[in-house]
Homo-oligomer: A and B are copies of this chain.
């Protein structure tokens, strides 16, 4: 059950995001196949998407696009023909990328193909085997325990064949060609927080940014995890230096506090922006050092690319018991939490978009602000206004080495005051970007 009171208004972006999560939830996604395409079709109803289909066998960096996997039906049936495990009930029931099978086995032989979670006997685990051919089923421990010995009919009606890897992009042109990428993985089946919530936040974020003319060009990437990001990187390697900043959105909807995982660099501008926004808004939050495990920041931050890409989550990767189980369902994510994640993204990109390094064009002594109408005329008073102090700080630190965020850090003034001061000084011709 969603917690009352923690939810946003019924018609707000939170509810819209939750509705999208619920709509996408039943689809069986994997790293390739029709489930990904169906997901991109639905996202495409919100945002115009550029779709890409990359053939099986294409070399992408150190990897090769695998065969496409599609599945129509799967079940385990008992001696009476009753489906005791049924893919139709949950897409998690089949081990991802299972090869087709149609056989009858005694339970004793079948057991090694069955994955359960003994510690959470009601939950179905999520398991895959992308790169080693096998098949299997996932089911609750309780279901397994209730199965009598005997023969079971096993059927997986799947296809593993040449096909394509599918991903999509949505670009919001900015004032400059420098890009911010926002990436969310679309390869997980019926798991709400990981990563339908990330997809939903990305979608609403794109809608919000499209209503403005942002400074940066924003590129939203909806691709399968790992192989999708690697494919995108391989196909964009020659233009990768356009990517100045980025954010991976994952686990964006649970009720825990926000977690920002820094880029491998640790002092990339996106790291400074997120640290600032999370601290300034006084939300409870966690800042984590980069680790080479997690989501697609692994690829974007690999040492050859080393992009300034961080990752925003609520409870992070593997940090909650429901992670990668059937308990990560639409009730596990909340409209309010997704709205909060969205709000932080919007604040962060608002700061990123205004964060500039300026040069003071009158750096010898203070320029005379008064004759430019930028300074209170009555001296002797100590109640210096924030706006005037912000101008002095921007002038003092506009030496090409300090960004506005660093002015904020040094001065303790709010970003909006500092950015407003920079705008006023820029309009007066006293600084240049």
Contact = CB atoms under 8 A, between A and B. Distances in A.
Interface in A317-335: 317-318, 323-324
Given A304-B360, A410-B289, A127 B366 contact: no
* Max chain B C-beta neighbours (<10 A), residue from A63, A301, A323: A63
Contacts of A396: 264, 290, 292, 301-303
Contacts of A318: 382
Interface string A350-393: 00000000001011111110110000011111101000010011
A411 interface: yes
A128 B378 contact: yes
Contact of A62 (B230, B304, B368, B393): B368
Given A132-B377, A292-B396, A380-B128, A366 B299 contact: yes
Contacts of A96: 379-380
Contacts of A289: 410
B61 A365 contact: yes
A261 to B, nearest CB: 13
Contacts of A317: 382
Interface residues of A, number: 64
Contacts of A366: 62, 226, 230, 292, 298-299, 302
A291 interface: yes
A411 to B, nearest CB: 7
Contacts of A230: 365-366
B127 A380 contact: yes
A395 interface: yes
Contacts of A302: 363-366, 395-396
Interface string A407-432: 00011000000000000000000000
B127 A379 contact: yes
A379 B126 CA distance: 9
Given A233-B365, A364-B305, A380 B264 contact: no
A367 B64 CA distance: 11
Contact of A397 (B303, B378, B395): B303
Contacts of A363: 302-305
User: What is the interface of chain A mostly: helix, strand, loop, or mixed?
Assistant: loop
A409 to B, nearest CB: 11
A93 to B, nearest CB: 13
A7 B393 CA distance: 39
Contacts of A226: 366
Interface string A266-304: 000000000000000000000001111100001101111
Contacts of A134: 377
Nearest to A300: B365
B292 A365 contact: no
Given A365-B229, A393-B292, A396-B292, A127 B378 contact: yes
A298 B392 contact: yes
A304 B365 contact: yes
A144 to B, nearest CB: 18
A203 interface: no
Given A381-B324, A396-B302, A365 B131 contact: no
A213 interface: no
A226 B128 CA distance: 66
Interface in A335-353: none
Interface of A: 61-63, 96, 125-132, 134, 226, 229-230, 233-234, 237, 264, 289-293, 298-299, 301-306, 317-318, 323-324, 360, 362-368, 370-371, 377-382, 384, 389, 392-393, 395-399, 410-411
What 3 A-B pairs come out closest when comparing CB atoms?
Answer: A304-B363, A318-B382, A304-B364
9 contacts: A63-B365, A125-B380, A128-B380, A129-B378, A131-B370, A234-B365, A290-B396, A291-B411, A303-B399
Given A132-B377, A234-B365, A292-B389, 20 more contacts: A61-B362, A61-B364, A62-B368, A126-B380, A127-B380, A128-B379, A129-B377, A132-B370, A237-B364, A291-B393, A292-B395, A293-B384, A293-B389, A299-B366, A301-B396, A303-B360, A303-B397, A304-B363, A304-B365, A305-B364
